């Protein structure tokens, strides 16, 4: 074996170990979701068992169905993503291109909002929403989610906007296009990859959020991350059902990941090649 091959083999082996460690919880959940309660507890853990859809049937169509929760999660995540992008794209463009008073401060401010520990701001958020009657409402949760998704999206998008050569824009102006038209027709198509990456991350953050959701939601709006916890009762953990819900909650994430994969990779490499630094 040549040194090169040996090196490749070592790298492969190390990757395999990491991959296994990362994939194990997912594989474990998927397997358990198809087991009966007694199979879940069997020792040694059964790799071969007669799979059942019982847990899925129960969590989807049983009396404690999590379908409303999946819908809740979807409304929150899609809503957050749309509003975030509508506001983040112009904001990021402005930060990247325009010269205005307090620009540096605005850029810094956007970043600092990311530095606050969420636990510290839950109570003020709760109070604000309670005062305006938005506890346990979609608009309330989306509003709060904007507080972390918007700075994140702006921060991510700025670097993509900065990577667009200024000359392209100037060419558009020479042809008589307005700033908005230029943004829409020239710039946005150029940063498609970056926008796709941002959309995916914003969606995922909203979909996976738990801390704010558990405090600010109630019976009406209850995302799946919160509902899932009811399968861990004080009396017992309903492993098979918990696994089934986890797999169902993972599905949209996986689908989105696969669909957007090409864009993500492209988006990531653009950032990597060009250094990704801002200003």
Partner 1 sequence: MTSFTPTRRTLLKTGTAAAALATFAPAVLRQAVAQGADLAPYKSAKIDWQQTKGETITVAVIPASYFENLIALAPQFTELTGIDVRFEKIPPAQIRQKSVIDLTSKTGTYATHAADPMYYALYAANKWVEPLDTYLNDKSLTDTAWFNFDDIIPAWRSANGINGKLYGMPYDGEVTIQVYRKDLYDAKGLKAADTLETYVSNAAALNAPNDRVWGAALRGLAGAGQNMYIYPSIFRQFGGDWMKGGKLTVNGPEAEAALAWYVDLMRKYAPTAAANWNWPDIADAFSQGTIASYIDAHSSASVINNPQKSKIIGKVAYARWPKGPSGRRTTSIWNWGFPINAALSEKKKKATWLFIQWAASAETQARTAHRFAGPTKRSGVNRTSIWKDPDYIKLMNGFGPNFVEATMDALQHDTDVDWRPRVPQWPAIGDTMATAIQSALSGQATVKAALDDAQRRIEPMMRG
Contacts with partner 1 by CB under 8 A lie at 37-38, 41-43, 58, 62-64, 122-123, 126-127, 130, 135, 214-215, 218-219, 229-230, 232-238, 241
- Residue 98 CB-half CA count within 13 A: 15
Q: In angstroms, give the least distance from the CB of 232 to partner 1.
A: 7
Contact status, residue 61 vs residue 154, Cβ threshold 8 Å: no
Stated length of the chain: 279
Q: In angstroms, give the least distance from the CB of 115 to partner 1.
A: 22
Instruction: Provide the token pair at 274.
Output: 């060009």
DSSP 184: I
Cα 177-180-183 angle, rounded to 5 deg:
90
Nearest residue (CB) to partner 1, 195 versus 249: 249
Contact status, residue 151 vs residue 198, Cβ threshold 8 Å: no
Nearest residue (CB) to partner 1, 28 versus 229: 229
Q: In angstroms, give the least distance from the CB of 65 to partner 1.
A: 9
Task: Count CB atoms within 10 A of the CB of residue 32.
Answer: 21
Q: In angstroms, give the least distance from the CB of 136 to partner 1.
A: 9
CA separation for the pair 62, 240 (Å, rounded): 14
Nearest residue (CB) to partner 1, 182 versus 217: 217
The distance from CA 133 to its chain's CA centroid, rounded to whole angstroms, is 27
Nearest residue (CB) to partner 1, 98 versus 234: 234
**Residue whose entry in the numeric block shows the structure tokens 């069997």:** 42
Q: In angstroms, give the least distance from the CB of 239 to partner 1.
A: 8
Q: In angstroms, give the least distance from the CB of 131 to partner 1.
A: 9
Nearest residue (CB) to partner 1, 43 versus 100: 43
CA separation for the pair 276, 279 (Å, rounded): 10
Nearest residue (CB) to partner 1, 43 versus 105: 43
Closest among 237, 225, 235 to 55, alpha carbons compared: 237
């Amino acid at each position: 074996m040549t040194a090169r091959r040996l090196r490749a083999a070592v790298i492969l082996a190390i990757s395999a170990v990491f991959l296994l460690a990362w994939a194990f919880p997912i594989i474990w959940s998927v397997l358990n979701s198809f087991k009966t309660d007694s199979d879940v507890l069997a020792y040694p853990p059964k790799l071969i068992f007669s799979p059942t859809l019982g847990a899925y049937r129960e969590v989807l169509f049983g009396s404690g169905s999590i379908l409303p929760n999946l819908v809740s999660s979807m409304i929150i995540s899609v809503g957050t993503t749309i509003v975030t992008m509508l506001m983040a794209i112009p904001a990021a463009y402005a930060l990247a291109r325009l010269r205005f008073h307090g620009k540096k401060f605005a850029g810094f401010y956007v970043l600092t909002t990311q530095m606050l520990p969420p636990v510290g701001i839950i109570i003020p958020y709760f109070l604000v929403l309670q005062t305006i009657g938005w506890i346990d409402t979609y608009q309330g949760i989306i509003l709060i989610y904007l507080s972390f998704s918007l700075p994140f999206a702006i921060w991510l998008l700025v670097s993509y906007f900065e990577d667009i050569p200024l000359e392209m824009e100037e060419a558009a102006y020479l042809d008589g296009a307005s700033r908005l038209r230029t943004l829409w027709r020239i710039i946005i198509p150029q940063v498609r990859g970056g926008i796709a990456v941002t959309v995916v991350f914003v969606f995922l953050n909203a979909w996976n959020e738990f801390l704010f959701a558990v405090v600010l939601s109630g019976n009406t709006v209850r995302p799946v991350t919160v509902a899932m916890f009811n399968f861990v009762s004080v009396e017992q953990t309903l492993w098979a059902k918990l696994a089934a819900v986890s797999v169902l909650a993972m599905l949209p994430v996986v689908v989105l990941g696969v669909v957007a994969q090409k864009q993500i990779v492209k988006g990531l490499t653009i950032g990597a090649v060009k250094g990704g630094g801002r200003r």
